[in-house]
Amino acid sequence: MESAAIAPYIAISAVLFAVGVAGVLTRRSPLVILMCVEIMWNAANVVFIAFARQFGHMDGHIFAFFVITVAAAEVAIALGLIVLIFRRRDRVDADDLNLLKG
Partner 1 sequence: MSLAFIAGALLAAAGALGVVLARAPVHNVLSLVVNFIGLSILYLTLQAEFLAVVQVIIYAGAVLILFLFVIALLTVRREAPHGPGERLKGQRTAGYAAGGLVGVLLVAAGMELFGGSGQAPAPAEGFGGAKAFGLELLGPHLLAFEAAAFILLAAVIGVVVLVGRPKKGS
Enumerate residues 8-67 that contact partner 1 by CB under 8 A. 8-29, 31-32, 34-36, 38-39, 42, 45-46, 49-50, 52-56, 58-59, 61-62, 64-66
Q: What is the rounded CA–CA span in Å between residue 102 and residue 100?
A: 6
Q: What is the rounded CA–CA span in Å between residue 64 and residue 57?
A: 13
Footprint of partner 1 on 73-92 (CB under 8 A): 73-77, 79-84, 86, 91-92
- Tell me how far, at minimum, the Cβ of 90 lies from partner 1, in Å: 9
Q: Is 13 exposed, middle or buried (0-12, 13-18, 19+ CB in 10 A)?
A: buried
- Tell me how far, at minimum, the Cβ of 64 lies from partner 1, in Å: 6
Torsional class of 46: left (φ above 0), alpha (ψ -120 to 50), beta (otherwise): alpha
- Tell me how far, at minimum, the Cβ of 73 lies from partner 1, in Å: 4
Comparison of 91 and 102: residue with beta carbon closer to partner 1: 91
Q: How far is CA 8 from the centre of its chain?
A: 20
Comparison of 7 and 100: residue with beta carbon closer to partner 1: 7
